[in-house]
Structure 1
Amino acid sequence: MHPVTRGSARLVLRELATADVDAVLAIYGSPVATEHLSFEPRDREQVEQIVARSIAAATATPRTEYALAVIEQTTAELIGFGRLALDPHQQRGATIGFALRPPSWGRGYGVETVRLLLALGFCDLALHRIWGARSRFNEASAKTMSAAGMVEEGTIREHVLKAGKRRDSVVHAILEREFDPCL
């Protein structure tokens, strides 16, 4: 499925473009925005490679990854990055991830982003189960996934190695029958 465009009242998910590197760098290069993510802040070259890989993955057959720009409709600005990746270990399953620019936090954009990713998975791709993981210290992400209908399932112990330390991840998931009607 390419290109992907899916919108809500305030946001649009769209395919990444080469011109998005600076906006993605504002997220992935930020120590604040990446504090609870599974990696250290990225530099420009790394972000260029991520965007290039995402663009290439968008036209792969079969497509297994949807790395998408989160665009605020009123300003047309890229405020976030959302990802849905098909899970090779589960038939009709996928993982999601998302990150927003810190100035966009606290406005409900995270919940809208997650709902858009879930709608992509359940309504467009006919998936059965979608899950995401968060740092156990990321309470904002816990509230976001819960508000989108995802259920906390448990902890993957010492799942992530970041800054030389092992960190637990908390799993949240939702099944197709639990998802609100497709947007």
Structure 2
Amino acid sequence: MDFSVKPVLTGDRTVLRPFTEADAEPMAEIIDDPEVRRFTGSPGRELTPEVLRTWYGSRGTRPDRLDLAVTDPADGELLGEVVLSEWQPETRTCTFRTLIGPRGRGRGVGTEATRLIVGYGFEEIGLHRVQLEAYGFNHRALRVYEKVGFVVEGTRRQVELRDGEWVDEVLMAVLDHEWAVHRGHPRVHPARADGAARGRPRTAR
């Protein structure tokens, strides 16, 4: 299997949907948010309006990755993005990343969006491993990832110079057999895992 199908994943706090070219402008505002810039690092190139239109307009054609817009279920407002990329078919491994703009923070949106797309990767695509990298000073994100079931595997020490200080990078991952037990709710007792799973996303394709 691959990521040719771009699903709509519906939760209680957010709806994840495929990107369109029209999302370029609101995503530009989100990417330019000071907190987003602080925690995501340099994009490596100038993100002009044309570059962003081309990028988000082409996400639906990529069978090797899944980029979904994080939206507010009440009004459809774009709040951020979640991504499974760096797909390795031989090991059934993907890398996860996310960014949530200011209007999506403090509402549990990021946590639910992470559960929705990672759950889709394991339960629909058949992934074996989902991994991520995060700055060690991004405490909010690290708490979210742990809450969803990612396990710290190690730390790359002083990998980047940010604002005059060397910063660490934390490596985390979750495996398919771990997800099968907790489905993104590791703090729930295994005997209650099925109950927690009743809140699994509704999928539209």
Q: State TM-score, norm by structure 2.
A: 0.77
Cα distance in 2 for partners of 1:42, 1:77 equals 27
Higher relative contact order (CA 8 A, sep 6+): 2
Partner in structure 2 of residue 75 of structure 1: 75
1:146 and 2:149 matched:
no
CA deviation digits over 1:9-32, x for unaligned, max 9? 121111111111121112111122
Instruction: Give the AA of the match of 1:53.
Output: W
Letter in 1 for 2:64: T
Q: Which one of 29, 50, 75 corresponds to residue 26 of structure 1? A: 29
- For the pair shown, the structure with the greater C-alpha radius of gyration is 2
Cα contact 1:8–1:116 (8 A) shared by 2: yes
Residue 15 of structure 2 corresponds to residue 9 of structure 1:
no
Q: How many residues align?
A: 180
Structure 1 gaps of 5+ residues are none
Instruction: Give the aligned CA root-mean-square deviation in angstroms.
Output: 2.5
C-alpha distance in 2, partners of 1:22/1:54? 10
**CA shift in 2, pair 1:149/1:169, >3 Å:** same
Query: Counterpart of 2:88 in 1: which secondary structure?
Result: coil
Contact 2:36 2:100 in 1 (8 A): yes
Gaps of 5+ in 2: 184-196
TM-superposed CA distance for 1:158, in Å, is 4.2
Quickly say closer, same or farther: Cα 1:130–1:178, change in 2 above 3 A.
Answer: same
TM-score (norm 1): 0.85
Distance 2:119 2:60 in 1: 18
Paired residue type of 1:147? K
CA distance in 2, matches of 1:110, 1:83: 12
How much has 1:50 moved relative to structure 2? 3.9
Q: What residue identity is the alignment partner of 1:171?
A: L
Q: Note if contact 1:31-1:40 (Cα within 8 Å) is conserved in structure 2.
A: no
CA distance in 2, matches of 1:50, 1:101: 16
